[in-house]
Amino acid sequence: MKKRELEQLIQKIVNEKVEEGAIKSPVKVMLERPPREELGDFSTNVAMLLTKSERKPPRQIAELLVPSIEALGCVEDVRVEGPGFINIYLKKDCWYDTLKEILQKRGSYGDCPHVGEGKKVQVEFVSANPTGPLHIGHGRGAAVGDALSRILEAAGYQITREYYINDVGKQMTILGHSLYIRYLELLGKDVTLPEDHYQGDYIKDIAEEFLKRQGKKYAEVPFDECSQLFIEFAKDSILSGIKKDLEDFGVHFDVWFSEKTLFEKNLVETTIEELKARGVIYEKDGALWFKTTEFGDDKDRVLVKQDGSTTYFASDIAYHRNKLRRGFNTIVDIWGADHHGYAPRIRALFSALGEDPERLKIILIQLVSLKRGGKPVAMSTRKAEFVTLREVIDEVGKDAARFIFLTRKADAHLEFDLELARRQAPENPVYYVQYCHARIMSILEFAKEKGLDIPDAPHTELLRRLDLKEELNIIKHLSRLEEVVESAATSFEPHRVTFYLRELAALFHPYYNTHRVVSEDTELSLARLTLCRATAEVVRKGLRLLGVDAPSRM
RNA sequence: GCGCCUGUAGCUCAGCUGGAUAGAGCGUUGGACUACGAAUCCAAAGGUCGGGGGUUCGAAUCCCCCCGGGCGCUCCA
């Protein structure tokens, strides 16, 4: 029995009471899980919500509803407890239906298409500048963005994963020039890399590659005459590295959106024209301003500078206007938390274009503080001292890294201990869940060798053998998957799935340790094997939503 | 100075959008493998939910004020 189903049944009862006149005002029924199992499987606070409009004590209102709820097929008992909670106890047979449903739906169990109804959502994430390799912080953004996308897909949304490439502007010229300098260095020229250039060794590697491909023919060519070539080469090389890193991290983007194309298609200009037409653009001090203060921003923002060049913000609004034009119902931007100040301006754009700013959902990713064996690791982008995503993948593995990134709310600081993450030790949380899956697969294997044939569609008769409290608790937890997916999707918080899985494993491991699955009692064995199979199915599904593998052996 | 985020057990963090006696993991201490995987399990200890007010049947959760931490306040990208 799922919460949503029971919620609807009780809502119907309340609505009937309202029609009959027994209750004066309508109320939305919300079920919740009581804090302790003695208080039932579900409970509702409707009676307390109605005290004011009914002018009756909550318990009296509750009693009005109890008989109809008791009459529901799945309900074993209904009690009014505490200040006026209506606590509902379900029949065991209803829980066994959960197992049947899991085995029938398999990988699609937990999906809730009614939430998204096929609406289009764009998720833009990572979007790191193509001036250097991805570092561990980008990894967190990648893990969150991808897991969120997977969860939204399970919730029935149509997702476009997108990466925005900042491939224009001064930084690109500096990148190209950095490569140029390293190239000349290789040719034995006496040059030094300016301080504001990219210092990382990766530029040297690219320079060697450049030399191999292009030879020495640019040795005497001034940078001004070959800048485009160097810029393109550096950018393409870095970008293909980024793509490779992300693929190996299990993240695949549908669209790689180039900022440059905004200019090529005149979209920056068109956007400014549209804003002009809407009367939110003015000129001051030789620059062109967007009146964002009209929509809640602190100060107005420059779009075209005195020297005639456009700002980064100009590209950004053109990009977001383009997103809107592409027909996404919701636009999700995942940013580093240090960019939070930009939110009001982008929202201002939505308002200025007559769009609901609520369509833009911004998720901020807090910084990762990196440790190694409990000791902090210093990071400095400028000095190119940082731990790259590549190193993390190679050192601790994709699964452990992704899982750890998803053990916290996105906007909370995350401590990432490289040594801990790499260690296959109990304190490493990913193995707790993966081990649960591997363990079950091993049990199923064992059962097969014993000649036990687990039914694909077990009868309730058989499942009734699962009457231990631990067994029912596991089944009840399994029944929550859809709720968790829905809440993770609507709150944009993928970490909820992580916690759910840990809880599930924490129910299964002790059960396994105290009760034998495969025993002399064939019927009981089959019932328990069914439970195991359903559990493995849900663990696998949950891990898939996080982009983490569910190994059969570890 | 202004704005956003944040403060929950020794440490790292959850807390289901306002519910009943606030929960995990790690760490600490003690215990469990001659039957399905010990990457597991069992037990113990650990709290003024930063502080103060307010809203109401009810607050860790919502509002205001302080205190502490982080991050933003470029015609930078």
Q: Which domain holds residue A331?
A: 259-347
Q: How confident is the model at residue A9 (pLDDT cuts 50, 70, 90)?
A: very high
- Does A242 reside within a domain? no
Q: At A21, which CATH number?
A: 3.30.1360.70
Long-range own/partner contacts, residues A239-244 (CB < 8 A, 24 or more apart): A239/A130, A239/A165, A241/A133, A241/A202, A241/A390, A242/A128, A242/A130, A242/A133, A242/A134
- Does A551 reside within a domain? no
Average pLDDT over residues A137-142: 92
Q: Are residues A342 and A429 in the same domain?
A: no
Q: What is the pLDDT of residue A56?
A: 85
Distance A421 CA to B36 C1' (A): 29
CB atoms within 10 A of CB A533: 23
As given in the structure block, the two tokens for residue A155 are 């919730």
Q: How confident is the model at residue A382 (pLDDT cuts 50, 70, 90)?
A: low
| Residue whose pair of structure tokens reads 């939505």 in the numeric block | A350
Q: Are residues A340 and A438 in the same domain?
A: no
Q: Would you say residue A459 has pLDDT above 80?
A: yes
Q: Are residues A436 and A339 in the same domain?
A: no
* Collapsed DSSP state (helix, strand, coil) of residue A162: strand
Q: How confident is the model at residue A128 (pLDDT cuts 50, 70, 90)?
A: very high
For A450, phi then psi, to 5°, come to -80, 0
Distance A413 CA to B49 C1' (A): 19
Summarize pLDDT for A301-333 with one digit per residue, the tens: 999 999 999 999 999 999 999 999 999 999 999
As given in the structure block, the two tokens for residue A125 are 């994430």
Measured from Cα to the C1' atom, the residue closest to B26 is A427
- Does A303 reside within a domain? yes
Q: What is the pLDDT of residue A379?
A: 67
What proportion of chain A, given as a percentage, has pLDDT over 90?
A: 79
Q: At A449, which CATH number?
A: 1.10.730.10
Domain termination residue (choose one: A290, A321, A347): A347
Instruction: Specify the nucleotide whose C1' lies closest to residue A553 (CA).
Output: B37
Burial, A462: exposed, middle or buried (Cβ in 10 Å; 0-12, 13-18, 19+)? middle
Q: What is the pLDDT of residue A358?
A: 87
- pTM for the model: 0.95
Q: Would you say residue A378 has pLDDT above 80?
A: no
Instruction: Specify the nucleotide whose C1' lies closest to residue A426 (CA).
Output: B39
Distance (Å, rounded) from C-alpha A94 to C-alpha A463? 11
Q: Which residues does residue A388 pair with via DSSP β-bridges, in sequence order?
A: A135
As given in the structure block, the two tokens for residue A412 are 């909370």
Summarize pLDDT for A462-473 with one digit per residue, the tens: 999 999 999 999
CB atoms within 10 A of CB A369: 13
- Side-chain-side CA neighbours of A134 within 13 Å: the count stands at 29
For A448, phi then psi, to 5°, come to -65, -45
What is the DSSP code (8-state) at residue A385? Answer: B
How many structural domains is chain A composed of? Answer: 3
Average pLDDT over residues A224-228: 95
Q: How confident is the model at residue A385 (pLDDT cuts 50, 70, 90)?
A: low
CB atoms within 10 A of CB A425: 9
Q: What is the pLDDT of residue A276?
A: 96
Distance A509 CA to B30 C1' (A): 21
Of A384 and A366, which is predicted with more confidence? A366
Q: Would you say residue A436 has pLDDT above 70?
A: yes
ipTM of the shown complex = 0.94
Q: Are residues A432 and A542 in the same domain?
A: yes
Distance A131 CA to B73 C1' (A): 26
Distance (Å, rounded) from C-alpha A195 to C-alpha A199? 8
Distance A536 CA to B39 C1' (A): 17
Measured from Cα to the C1' atom, the residue closest to B12 is A415
CB A482 within 8 A of CB A410: no
Instruction: Specify the nucleotide whose C1' lies closest to residue A430 (CA).
Output: B39
Longest dimension (CA), chain A: 93
As given in the structure block, the two tokens for residue A2 are 């799922």
List of E strands, A217-359: 255-258, 281-284, 287-290, 301-304, 330-336
- For chain A, give the number of residues: 554
- Does A290 reside within a domain? yes
Instruction: Specify the nucleotide whose C1' lies closest to residue A339 (CA).
Output: B72
Q: Would you say residue A392 has pLDDT above 60?
A: yes
- Does A26 reside within a domain? yes
Q: How confident is the model at residue A166 (pLDDT cuts 50, 70, 90)?
A: very high
Please list the helix, strand and coil fractions of chain A in percent, rounded to the nearest 5, in that order: 55, 15, 30
Q: Which residues does residue A85 pair with via DSSP β-bridges, in sequence order?
A: A81
Most confident of A108-112, A340-344, A427-431: A108-112
Domain termination residue (choose one: A329, A347, A365): A347
Summarize pLDDT for A75-106 with one digit per residue, the tens: 999 999 888 899 999 999 999 999 999 999 99
Summarize pLDDT for A46-64 with one digit per residue, the tens: 999 888 888 888 888 999 9
**Dihedral sign computed on CA atoms, order A480, A482, A485, A489:** negative
Q: What is the pLDDT of residue A527?
A: 97
Cα angle value A46/A53/A22 (rounded, 5°):
70
Identity of the residue numbered A305: K
Of A241 and A1, which is predicted with more confidence? A241
Q: What is the pLDDT of residue A381?
A: 57
Average pLDDT, chain A: 92
Q: What is the pLDDT of residue A266?
A: 96
Q: What is the pLDDT of residue A124?
A: 96
Q: Which residues does residue A414 pair with via DSSP β-bridges, in sequence order?
A: A368
Q: Are residues A437 and A538 in the same domain?
A: yes
As given in the structure block, the two tokens for residue A68 are 């109809």
Q: Would you say residue A291 has pLDDT above 80?
A: yes
Instruction: Specify the nucleotide whose C1' lies closest to residue A44 (CA).
Output: B19
Distance A52 CA to B54 C1' (A): 21
Distance A408 CA to B57 C1' (A): 34
Those nucleotides of strand B lying less than 7 Å from any protein Cβ are 2-6, 12-17, 19-27, 32, 35-42, 57, 70-77
- Does A273 reside within a domain? yes
Give the strand pairing for A75-81 and A85-90.
antiparallel
Distance A357 CA to B54 C1' (A): 31
Q: How confident is the model at residue A384 (pLDDT cuts 50, 70, 90)?
A: low
Instruction: Please give the full DSSP string across A103-130, using - where no structure is assigned.
Output: HHHGGGTT--HHHHTT-EEEEE-----T
Average pLDDT over residues A221-250: 96
Instruction: Specify the nucleotide whose C1' lies closest to residue A289 (CA).
Output: B75
Q: What is the pLDDT of residue A143?
A: 95
- Does A214 reside within a domain? no
Instruction: Specify the nucleotide whose C1' lies closest to residue A169 (CA).
Output: B77
Distance A103 CA to B35 C1' (A): 28
What is the DSSP code (8-state) at residue A6? Answer: H
Of A391 and A424, which is predicted with more confidence? A391
Q: Would you say residue A259 has pLDDT above 90?
A: yes
- Does A71 reside within a domain? yes
Domain termination residue (choose one: A63, A90, A117): A90
What proportion of chain A, given as a percentage, has pLDDT over 70?
A: 98
